[in-house]
Amino acid sequence: KNRSEKKGRTDSLPFHTPERPKTLETTGVPNLQQENGGENHERSPFEDSNGLLKLQCINA
């Protein structure tokens, strides 16, 4: 039982780990530029036209 639970959790972790960061980087970066006047605005009031650029500028 312990091995079964550990195997299931390990299988779920690697599957979500690579998919989560890839989705954020692949859908987050382009999505920000494509949807810079819709969900982005509601998500981050700091993001005007280039959410990523604005965020980086503020961070820098």
Rounded to 5°, the CA angle 40-46-49 comes to 60
Please tell me the predicted confidence (pLDDT) of residue 44.
54
pLDDT digits (tens, 9 = 90+) for 9-56: 555 555 545 455 554 554 545 555 544 454 544 555 555 555 555 555
| Predicted local distance difference test score (pLDDT) of residue 41 | 45
The pLDDT of residue 9: 52
pTM > 0.85: yes or no = no
pLDDT at 35: 47
Beta carbons of 30 and 51 less than 8 angstroms apart:
no
47 burial class (0-12, 13-18, 19+ CB within 10 angstroms)?
buried
Residue written as token pair 């692949």: 26
Angle at 26 between CA 23 and CA 6, to 5 degrees: 25
